[in-house]
Amino acid sequence: MSTEIELQPINESARLRGFSTIYHKENCDWMHTHRWWINAIFWPIVLCGLVANLLLVANVLPLDITEEVIAAGGLTK
């Protein structure tokens, strides 16, 4: 056994040092399961549903309610 061991120089930036190793490990762990399929299907449906809800509900509600606001005393002229 050698008592003088040389360390390998690192060519990565200080902010992201070790990130590529962790990213590769997590990506391999994630892609070898069926959870990513569930998330790849579930979250786009949820997000598109929220956007559709905002667009459709905004068109159904009346936007001109100034008479109701004036009658309730919320608008002064």
Q: Is residue 7 part of a domain?
A: no
- pLDDT of res. 67: 73
Q: Which helix (H) or strand (E) segment is 30 a member of? A: helix 19-31
pTM of the model: 0.46
Q: Is residue 2 part of a domain?
A: no
Q: Is residue 12 part of a domain?
A: no
Tens-of-pLDDT digits for all 77 residues of the chain? 567 888 888 787 888 888 888 999 998 988 888 888 888 899 999 999 999 988 887 666 666 667 777 777 775 55
Q: Measured between alpha carbons, how far is residue 48 from residues 38, 44, 55, 70 in Å?
A: 16, 6, 11, 37
Q: Is residue 66 part of a domain?
A: yes
Calculated CA dihedral for residues 39, 41, 45, 48, nearest 10 degrees: 90
Which residue range(s) make up the domain with 51? 19-72
* Helix%, strand%, coil% for the chain, nearest 5: 60, 0, 40
Q: Is residue 50 part of a domain?
A: yes
